[in-house]
Amino acid sequence: MNQLLGNCTVVDARALPVKDAGVWITGDRITAVGPYGEIASQARAAGPVVERDMDGAFVTPGLANMHTHFSLSLPGSGGNTVKDLGPHDLALYMADGARRTLDCGVTTVRNVAEKDHADFALRRAIKAGRVPGPRMYTAGRALVCTGGHGHESGDTMECDGPVGFRHGVRSQIKAGADLIKVMISGGIAGEHEGIATPQLFADEMAAVIETAHAWGRKVTAHAGPAEVIAAAVELGLDCVEHGYQLTPEVAARMAARGTALVPTLLVTRCKEFFDELGVPEWMQCRSLGAGPRHIESFKMALDAGVEILLGSDMPPFWSFEGTNATVRELENLAEHLGPVRALHAGTRGPIDWLGLSDDLGTVEPGKYADVIAMDADPLDDTSAFRGVRFVMKGGVVSREDQR
């Protein structure tokens, strides 16, 4: 099917905006982008075309959220409800989250620990068209040491020693993992650990990274303290999640080695979310108390030139502070990055990290037609993404609000 989006401005992280633009889509990919009159003539000459008047909207690539959990279960009553779901209920719960995520304008996600390998079933269902949802790139279960961060849940796998961690990596790849997630320090949600608690020895970290890289998979690590992050970066770590306690020296080394950061700023400034889920006081105090140091750490990474990528940690679709968690996190980033770099952090940057830049991340010929639209200009104000009213993934419209 030929489709033509008109009466719009195309904005992405690659070039200057294309005003009064036309976007010609054939099947699931973009055929041409340019001045509307020129593109419309080409599309109509090729045969029947479905024309969509975008009513002056700003069209951008779909957002990419690099830290998602569709089966998240934090301590507290809300998390216990998810923990108690049987396998069939869990699959339906996660499928509903995927649908809601796509409706928010998030067309690509990186799942970094899901329960019981249900993420692989969901990924298959989305690819087959049985379930609406974003493109999923998933780590399966995160690897932890015995008793390590997140060990209480079915979304982790306990390992010990280099041999154990090599087995852990291979087991997730066998199940279908696109990347590997490893917990190398304590975190906010562990009652009997500190954020700065080291949880892997150097030979264990090396085993994870070496094995994953040998199989062509990148490794991302849940990590808080600078010393632990520094050791992993020297071993070839590809990405850091959170990075609560960086130093300028470690941030500089991350930049030099090409280690990206998904700061998940939301997790230390989301009391409303914690209250909604009944998260206990000890975790709320730890989380919110870590906020000032967390933002300092993020600024150090920014100053050092570390690649910053969007990731919410909260379920990407969750209604939070007047918008969804993905957009709220993007606004947090934009406070320091500015709207232009925030657009990169939420679109092209994640796609580059995932190795998908031939197919996604920009609005240009040859790419998949994963595009969203809103009324305000995101290059002026990132809060424009609060107004997403049109979502297309692979040429299929999943949301089109009536005006």
Closest CA to 339 of 369, 377, 293, 365: 377
Helix (H/G/I), strand (E/B), else coil: 207: helix
Q: How far apart are CA 241 and CA 246, in angstroms?
A: 12
CB 28 within 8 Å of CB 70: no
Q: How far apart are CA 238 and CA 182, in angstroms?
A: 11
Q: Could you tell me what percentage of the chain is helix, strand and coil, using 3-state DSSP and rounding each to the nearest 5?
A: 40, 25, 35
In this prediction, residue 283 carries a pLDDT of 86
In this prediction, residue 376 carries a pLDDT of 98
In this prediction, residue 151 carries a pLDDT of 77
In this prediction, residue 286 carries a pLDDT of 82
Q: How far apart are CA 274 and CA 249, in angstroms?
A: 33
In this prediction, residue 215 carries a pLDDT of 98
In this prediction, residue 313 carries a pLDDT of 94
Closest CA to 246 of 261, 224, 263: 224
8-47 per-residue burial string, b: 16 or more CB within 10 A, e: under 16 = bbbbbbeeeebeebbbbbbebebbbbbebeebbebbeeee
Q: How far apart are CA 310 and CA 260, in angstroms?
A: 11
In this prediction, residue 187 carries a pLDDT of 76
> In the structure encoding, which two tokens stand for residue 356, read together?
């998908």
Q: How far apart are CA 66 and CA 242, in angstroms?
A: 12
In this prediction, residue 190 carries a pLDDT of 67
In this prediction, residue 201 carries a pLDDT of 94
Q: How far apart are CA 340 and CA 360, in angstroms?
A: 18
Sign, Cα dihedral of 232, 235, 240, 246: positive
Cross-strand partners of 262: 241
Question: What does the pLDDT profile of the chain (403 residues) look like in tens digits?
Answer: 899 999 999 999 987 899 999 999 999 999 999 999 999 999 999 999 999 999 999 999 999 999 999 998 888 888 889 988 999 999 999 999 999 999 999 999 999 999 999 999 999 999 999 999 999 999 999 999 999 877 778 899 999 999 999 999 999 999 999 999 999 998 766 666 677 788 899 999 999 999 999 999 999 999 989 999 999 999 999 999 999 999 999 999 999 999 999 999 999 998 888 889 898 888 888 888 889 999 999 999 999 999 999 999 999 999 999 999 999 999 999 999 999 999 999 999 999 999 999 999 999 999 999 999 999 999 999 999 999 999 999 999 999 998 7
Helix (H/G/I), strand (E/B), else coil: 395: coil
| Helix (H) and strand (E) counts in the chain | 14, 18
Closest CA to 98 of 333, 87, 90: 90
Per-residue DSSP letter, 62: P
In this prediction, residue 351 carries a pLDDT of 98
In this prediction, residue 287 carries a pLDDT of 84
In this prediction, residue 148 carries a pLDDT of 83
Give the number of other CB atoms < 10 A from CB of residue 162.
18
